[in-house]
């Protein structure tokens, strides 16, 4: 995976307006909805409890990423989806 540098000014501008994407599962700690959080080096993310944060974080299964999130992502190099 290629990591693309983000201008610190752009990152600071967007911090007050965080995007929340459901993790399509219930948290192990209390059954609340999970949220996707970019919390790992290289831009990787985990599913965290929407109530308790990263207390019981888990990774997102590939089938959920590919078939349930309904995200449109284009390659930053070639623009292909």
Residue 12: domain span: 8-67
How far is 81 from 53, CA to CA, in rounded Å? 31
74 in a domain, yes or no?
A: no
18 in a domain, yes or no?
A: yes
Number of residues in the chain: 81
Closest CA to 23 of 65, 75, 67: 65
39 in a domain, yes or no?
A: yes
Q: Which two tokens stand for residue 19?
A: 């995007």
Structural domains in the chain (count): 1
1 in a domain, yes or no?
A: no
Q: What is the pTM of this model?
A: 0.61
What is the residue-level pLDDT of the chain in tens, covering all 81 positions? 556 667 778 777 767 776 788 888 888 899 999 998 877 777 778 899 999 988 888 888 888 888 888 777 777 677 665
């Amino acid at each position: 995976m290629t990591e693309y540098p983000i201008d610190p000014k752009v990152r600071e501008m967007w911090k007050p307006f965080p995007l929340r994407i459901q993790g399509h599962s219930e948290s192990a700690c209390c059954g609340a909805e999970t949220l996707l959080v970019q919390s790992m080096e290289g831009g990787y993310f985990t599913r965290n409890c929407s109530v308790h944060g990263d207390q019981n974080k888990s990774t997102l299964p590939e089938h959920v990423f590919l078939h349930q999130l309904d995200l449109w992502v284009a390659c930053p190099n070639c623009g292909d989806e």
